[in-house]
Amino acid sequence: MRRDPQQKSPLALTFRGTVLDVLDQRLLPGTYRMIRCRTHRQVAECIRGMAVRGAPAIGCAAAFGLALAAQERRFPSRRELLAYLQKAAQTLRATRPTAVNLAWAVQRILRVAKEPVSVSVLQRAVIREAERLFAEDQAANRRLGDYGATLLSPNNVIMTYCNTGSLATAGYGTALGVVRSAFRQGKVAKVLVCETRPYLQGARLTAWELRLERIPCELITDNMAAFIMTQEHVDAVIVGADRVAANGDVANKIGTYALAILAKVHQVPFYVAAPTSTLDPQIASGAEIPIEERPAQEVTSLQGVSIAPPRMPARHPAFDVTPASYIAALVTERGIAYPPYGGSITQLLSSGRPSEPLKEAPALIGASV
Ligand code: MRU
């Protein structure tokens, strides 16, 4: 099992130049199996089929997919290599539409592939860029985790949704990265893990990661969140994001919006943690974010067992949009943005580089709510 050296959770992706090993998250926590990919099509299948999931992780997987594509055949000229990469990019981009990290990562690799150099130099450059992107995501998560921890106080109870940990990223995690950093600082009494129907990312993956790290946690079904907020003090809800629009609206796992409404009603601060690769300034508001519709069987069955009458019609929008007005702060590796997000997101994106080390106290961008 390949682990992040600074944490116990295993890595979702392990790249070794000519192969990409994908940890099959569909089987967790019961079975630990790696899928070995040698082609970009195999990587695309892993993304589409949810063997690898989580916005930053699928971005990294797509980047490695292009690194494999660059070596899949002999390319007589630079032009042919570029054409092949562009086709592979299309295949990878078409796998899942909501998380912008995927399109962002593909774009970044294609930019490198346009350099006017020889085929072999270009192949090495594409591989290096994919490795760099992966390393940068890990570093960004550690930084945003430390920024996010400044929002918490000793012995806080935190509620979280879906899986935003090591498994959903290149390592460490976004919302779960905040939990990891805060736990090390004695700020986490307990994490309330929402199970996250229908795919159970909370129950299967987040609970597993937290238990591996011995972070105190309790599993609840999604419909318990409101009651729990009336029964015990929840200090913060922290979630990740798949795409953040220019106005601060956030697309994340289906059910996030319901949790944000509950948090508002019960006056619990609702925080979103995401690297800047998840921000999409091209999109004005959440209304423009494409929402993936997944197969209805994922709703009518649970772990392969049918739980509804035969041929029961069902819907499965995989994400929803939480309006910016519900979000108390947006934690990124460049600092924390507060409402109004139109201004603070622009300011975040125009300041610094994502891979700069954390040198000083967090920059508080915009006014606190
Ligand atoms: O369908 P998934 O499992 O890919 O959805 C994952 C989420 O919605 C996460 O909350 C999001 O990608 C942030 S992960 C750091």
Number of domains in the chain: 2
Please enumerate in sequence order all residues whose Cβ is within 8 A of that of 337, keeping only pairs 6 or more positions apart, or say none.
248, 329, 330, 344, 345, 347, 348, 365, 366
Q: Atom of ligand 1 at shortest distance to CA of 56?
A: 15
In a domain, 146, yes or no: no
| pLDDT computed for residue 161 by the predictor | 98
Catalytic residue set: 242
Among candidate residues 230, 245, 268, 267, the one with its CA nearest the CA of residue 322: 245
On whether residue 170 sits in a domain, the answer given is yes
- Cα 241 to ligand 1 centroid, rounded to whole Å: 7
Q: Is the domain of 129 the same as that of 194? A: no
Residues 292 and 331 both lie in one domain: yes
Residue 361 pLDDT greater than 80, yes or no: no
Judgement on whether residues 200 and 320 belong to the same structural domain of the protein: yes
Do 322 and 187 fall within a single domain?
yes
Lay out the sheet containing 20-23: strands in order across. Answer: 13-15, 20-23, 34-37
- Give the CA angle between residues 233, 266, 289 to the nearest 5°: 120
Do the domain assignments include residue 369?
no
**70 half-sphere exposure, CB direction, 13 A CA radius:** 29
Dihedral (CA of 30, 31, 34, 39) sign: negative
Last residue of a domain, one of 110, 141, 172: 141
| pLDDT per position as a tens digit, 71-123 | 999 999 999 999 999 999 999 999 999 999 999 999 999 999 988 899 999 99
pLDDT for 15: 98
* Mutate-to-test residue for ligand 1 from 160, 193, 252, 272, highest number of ligand atoms within 8 A of CB: 252
Which residue segment(s) compose the domain that 80 sits in? 13-141
The whole-number pLDDT of residue 137 equals: 98
Per-residue pLDDT tens digits for 173-195: 999 999 999 999 999 999 999 99
> Distance from the CA of 163 to the center of ligand 1, in angstroms?
6
The answer to whether residues 32 and 123 belong to one domain is yes
Q: What's the CA-to-centroid distance between 154 and ligand 1, angstroms?
A: 27
Domain endpoint, select from 107, 141, 175: 141
- Ramachandran bin of 303, using left for φ above 0, alpha for ψ from -120 to 50, beta for the remaining angles: left
Instruction: Tell me, yes or no, whether 137 lies in a domain.
Output: yes
Confidence grade of residue 355 (pLDDT, cut at 50, 70, 90):
very low
User: Which residue's C-alpha comes closest to atom 15 of ligand 1?
Assistant: 164
Give the model's pLDDT for residue 351.
Answer: 78
Q: Are residues 110 and 234 in the same domain?
A: no
Helices (H) and strands (E) in the chain, counts: 11, 17
- Within 1-150, residue ranges assigned H as helices are 40-48, 55-69, 78-93, 100-113, 119-149
In a shared domain, residues 202 and 77: no
CATH of the domain at 90: 1.20.120.420
pLDDT at 369: 30
pLDDT for 24-56, tens place per residue?
999 999 999 999 999 999 999 999 999 999 999
Q: Is residue 364 a part of any domain in this protein?
A: no
Q: Are residues 126 and 205 in the same domain?
A: no
CA atoms within 13 A on the CB side of 246: 8
Residue 359 has pLDDT above 70, yes or no: no
pLDDT tens, position by position, 190-211:
999 999 999 999 999 999 999 9
Is residue 366 included in any domain, yes or no? no
Evaluated on CA atoms 88, 1, 143, 209, the torsion sign reads positive
**Residue 294 clears pLDDT 90, i.e. is over it:** yes
CATH number at residue 329: 3.40.50.10470
Instruction: Dump pLDDT digits (tens) for 246-265.
Output: 999 999 999 999 999 999 99
Residue 317's Cβ-count burial label (10 Å; 0-12, 13-18, 19+) is exposed
* Predicted pLDDT at 8: 75
Write phi, then psi, for 210 (nearest 5 degrees). -65, -40
Confidence of residue 61 (pLDDT cuts 50, 70, 90): very high
Q: CA 138 to CA 74: how far, in whole Å? A: 32
Pocket residue to mutate for ligand 1, from 163, 277, 299, most atoms within 8 A of Cβ: 163
Share of the chain above pLDDT 90, in %: 90
Task: Supply the pLDDT for residue 272.
Answer: 98
Residues 137, 105: contact at Cβ < 8 Å? no
Q: Tell me: do 137 and 155 sit in the same domain.
A: no
Q: What is the mean pLDDT of residues 56-66?
A: 98
**Sign (positive/negative) of CA torsion 43, 44, 45, 48?**
positive
Confidence class for position 5, pLDDT limits 50, 70, 90: low
100 closest CA partner among 300, 354, 275, 324: 275
Whether 3 is in a domain gets the answer no
Ligand 1: lining residues by beta carbon, under 6 Å: 53-56, 99, 162, 164, 168-169, 174, 201, 240-242, 252-253, 318
Q: How much is the mean pLDDT over the chain?
A: 93
Ligand 1 centroid – CA 72 distance (Å): 30
Q: Clarify whether residues 245 and 276 are in a common domain.
A: yes
pTM of the model: 0.94
Report the chain's C-alpha Rg in angstroms.
Answer: 20
